[in-house]
Structure 1
Amino acid sequence: MHGAGNDFVVIDCRDGAALPDAEGIRRMGDRHFGIGFDQLLTVEAPETPGAVASYRILNQDGSFAGQCGNGARCVAHWLVRSGVTDVPAFELDSPAGVIRVRRIGNDYALGMGHPRFAPAQIPLLAEAEALQYFLPLDGVTHAFSAVSMGNPHAVFRVDSVVDAPVERWGKAVQAAQVFPEGVNVGFAEVLDRGNIRLRVYERGVGETLACGSGACAAAVSLMRQNLVARTLAVHLPGGTLMIDWPDDAAAVTMTGPAVWVYDGEWRDD
């Protein structure tokens, strides 16, 4: 499956099926010798009353991720397409808490929760919360915003996402000791108050065609600085996501597509 080009293998583990080990996940995720994916998603039995199912997220390197908005939409679509639920609104248990889902035509709107800006909640090693922090990159000090959307994000505003040093800075920021649990690194170009372009270098994966939590992180970071409107179209290489954050006390809503590509059986022999 994919959400705006952010692609996934989805495994039904509701009967308690065991996941492959980290090496097996790496083999499965290899785009030349396996299936290829940005993340692997598991669909599992619900953990809270009222939820339809729960899910977990594993990166290409076998590590667990805390949240994935594009993945959550794909899990929602998998549940609908598989006949597990046919209601227009339902809840999912995610690694970051309960996700509320609404079907809107062929798209899904997700309640992504409240962004967290306190350094200890990201986590980020900083003395106090700020709109911007600073890191030396390529011999020059650059400003970035930091936020958790259930997973840590650093957001750099750039003049052009085409020319942004995504891989070089992405690796450098992920290696910086100020993010003790690693970080997803976004590069945002403001087009106007209603539109931005975004590229994201994800923790445990590398650059992806889309990142739902990264779109939320970039949007709320720019909204806090009054650089964009509170409803924002985020244009990623794989497609467009709509982000709504009515005010600083509100939860974030993300709306976008989810596409079933094919299904099959993995034979590791």
Structure 2
Amino acid sequence: MRISSQIDVSTLSADLSQRSTDVTLFKYQALGNSYLIYDPQRNLHAIGSIERATDWVRMVCSHDYGIGSNGLLVGPDATVNGAFEFRIFNSDGSQAQLSGNGSRIFARYLLDAGYTDPTLKLPFSIAAISPMSRVVVDVPPPEPDDPRILTDINVVPSFGANAVEAQPGAIQGSGLHFTVAALADIGRRHRMGDKWIDSSLISIGNPHCVTFVERPETLPSVDFLTQLRSEFSMIADAPPHSSGPVFQHGCNLQWCFVENRESIHLRIVERGEGPTLASGSSASAAVIAAYARGLIDEDATVVMPGGMLQVTLLFHEDEIRGIRVAGTAERLAEIRVMSPDYAVCDRKPAN
């Protein structure tokens, strides 16, 4: 994939003793899903230092003690095989493998910051890296007069308990239909009856549990998910933030109602973050799961509390080889905050 205009970011690391006393962050949002961006070139910091500053990441992402955000994007780190690499941190300081909205926001930042020239309308690539994976996302040129950013997530989905590293005995079922006992139990205790018993388990570079409901009224509200955040976190979050009784590394949770073959409705609890208004990777996983069940076509609108995304499955020889997500992303603010004390914030994020 050709890079339209590229800045060498492979030599941006600097001696921390020469850093300034504050850093510049950029805040973006996509469908109510917000991220802060930490650009090493702008701040002249070593990229690895942020990974040790878990407490600082939690502070700046906090709505009470910091700026407020669903997470922190760090990059561009380098360009490897033609892709701008970046890292994704959840608001609890843990490192994520993939974020659909985060990828779109990072692509928008690269255009805004001049790493690529938007007037040339050429494609470029980004890569979300973590200790467990490297997911390449291609960014095609935008359609004329279309404000949306297109991102093609290059992943082959995998299904089942092994794909999401479910703990033995925590789930029952096979194929595309599983019952997650802990999730079903929450539903029963809070008057949902036996409505949360049919889930598909899928990995698209990060793990997802998509629970299908038959009526829109059995979709949990954002307020309901927020009130029970601690209960859902015990299922969704990775240890040590949960006891890990269901998924070895945590799992993103979705509730899905299929309106028709072109539209689904979604509610979301993200691993390491909690209830969110929207999620690109959750929307992608839900479309793949619904398509695999034969419920929708390969191109669908995903309706979430934060807004709508258009998700299109990409095929090669009748197999899903990727997901195209189309949606907006906008810059909200440029903010200067205190630099983290790396001598104190030396804990590594959870995988």
Q: TM-score with structure 2 length normalisation?
A: 0.70
Note if contact 2:33-2:70 (Cα within 8 Å) is conserved in structure 1: yes
> How much does 1:30 deviate?
1.0
Q: Which stretch shows the higher mean deviation, 246-255 or 198-207?
A: 246-255
* Residue ranges of structure 2 left out of the alignment (5+ in a row): 1-27, 189-193, 237-241, 341-351
Distance 2:210 2:272 in 1: 17
Q: Identify the residue that residue 152 of structure 1 maps to in structure 2.
A: 207
Secondary structure at the counterpart of residue 179 of structure 1 = coil
Indicate which of 54, 59, 71 corresponds to 2:102. Answer: 71
**How is 1:225-244 mapped onto 2 (pairs within 5 angstroms)?**
225-244=293-312
Indicate which of 285, 310, 333 corresponds to 1:262. Answer: 333
Distance 1:236 1:163 in 2: 11
Q: Identify the residue that residue 100 of structure 1 maps to in structure 2.
A: 138
Distance 2:209 2:85 in 1: 27
Q: Identify the residue that residue 349 of structure 2 maps to in structure 1.
A: none
* Residue ranges of structure 1 left out of the alignment (5+ in a row): none
Note if contact 1:110-1:255 (Cα within 8 Å) is conserved in structure 2: yes
CA pair 246-12 structure 1, distance change in 2 beyond 3 A: closer
Distance 1:109 1:94 in 2: 16
Q: Deviations over 1:114-173 (max 9, x none)?
A: 222253332234699611111232355712111112111001112226752645473353
Indicate which of 134, 143, 165 corresponds to 1:123. Answer: 165
Secondary structure at the counterpart of residue 254 of structure 2 = strand
Q: TM-score with structure 1 length normalisation?
A: 0.91
Report the structure, 1 or 2, having the larger helix content: 2
Q: Identify the residue that residue 9 of structure 1 maps to in structure 2.
A: 36
1:206 equivalenced with 2:233 (yes/no): no
Distance 2:174 2:150 in 1: 30
> How much does 1:254 deviate?
1.2
> How much does 1:110 deviate?
1.4
> How much does 1:3 deviate?
1.3
Secondary structure at the counterpart of residue 110 of structure 1 = strand
Note if contact 2:219-2:257 (Cα within 8 Å) is conserved in structure 1: no
> How much does 1:178 deviate?
3.3
Indicate which of 110, 124, 130 corresponds to 1:90. Answer: 124
Q: Identify the residue that residue 179 of structure 2 maps to in structure 1.
A: 134
CA RMSD between the two structures:
2.3
Q: Identify the residue that residue 13 of structure 2 maps to in structure 1.
A: none
Q: Identify the residue that residue 264 of structure 2 maps to in structure 1.
A: 196
Distance 2:335 2:93 in 1: 21
Secondary structure at the counterpart of residue 234 of structure 1 = strand
Q: Identify the residue that residue 152 of structure 2 maps to in structure 1.
A: 111
> How much does 1:44 deviate?
2.3
Distance 2:299 2:210 in 1: 18
Q: Aligned residues, how many?
A: 268
Which residue type is aligned with residue 151 of structure 2? L
Q: Which stretch shows the higher mean deviation, 89-98 or 126-135?
A: 126-135
Note if contact 1:195-1:234 (Cα within 8 Å) is conserved in structure 2: yes
Q: Identify the residue that residue 112 of structure 2 maps to in structure 1.
A: 81
User: Which protein is bigger by CA-based radius of gyration?
Assistant: 2
> How much does 1:39 deviate?
1.0
